[in-house]
Amino acid sequence: MQTQMLKVDVDRLCKSPASSLAYLKLVRESQYTDSDLVFEGFTDIDALAFNYMLVPTLRVSSLNTALLLTQGLNGKIIKALSNIIPKDMLAKTLSVSQTNLSNQYRKKELDKTQSEAIVEFLHIWSELMVLFGDDTELVKEWLVGKKRPLCGMAPVDLMDIAVGRKAVLEMIDRIKMGDFS
């Protein structure tokens, strides 16, 4: 267990896919907890979003998340995510076209609906990373594959609405309990 703080290099997460993935792996393997990570110049909701990427085992209550979501996420988070998560998934989650996704990077603050969608998507992503042993390719495959318990829809197709994300989380919870139906 680490006792010193780590100032997270957000710019490194935003540079390139290779740089982002390497840094993500480095931080994850360092076994830092969310309370050890420092995000200078970012709000608490931004820190929560980054923590879901960096500490997949992170658990946050719905009430705490709701209280943090009074502020919108910084667009820089979308830039960092676009280096790790396929752009089409992010665009779908944000309810924007892939062409307009890069416009989100420059926003000082996303609206609350978009911020909530990204935080919930990251919660799903982190649950899947734990479930699939940090295998990002397997997580991506799972998200785009059609699932019978989701009425034959792919989880990614449900990311743009809150109840859709909830249905995906419920399915993940059932899988964790051994229910593969």
Q: What is the 3-state secondary structure (H, E, C) of 93-132?
A: HHCCCCCCHHHHHCCCCCCHHHHHHHHHHHHHHHHHHHHC
C-alpha atoms less than 13 angstroms from C-alpha of 72 in its C-beta half-sphere: 15
Q: Encoding tokens for residue 164?
A: 């859709």
pTM value is 0.87
Tokens of 6: 């780590």
Percent share of the chain, pLDDT over 70? 98
Ranges of each domain in the chain: 6-176
Question: Would you tell me how many other CB atoms lie within 10 Å of the CB of residue 148?
Answer: 8
91-133 pLDDT, tens digit each: 999 999 999 999 999 999 999 999 999 999 999 999 999 899 8
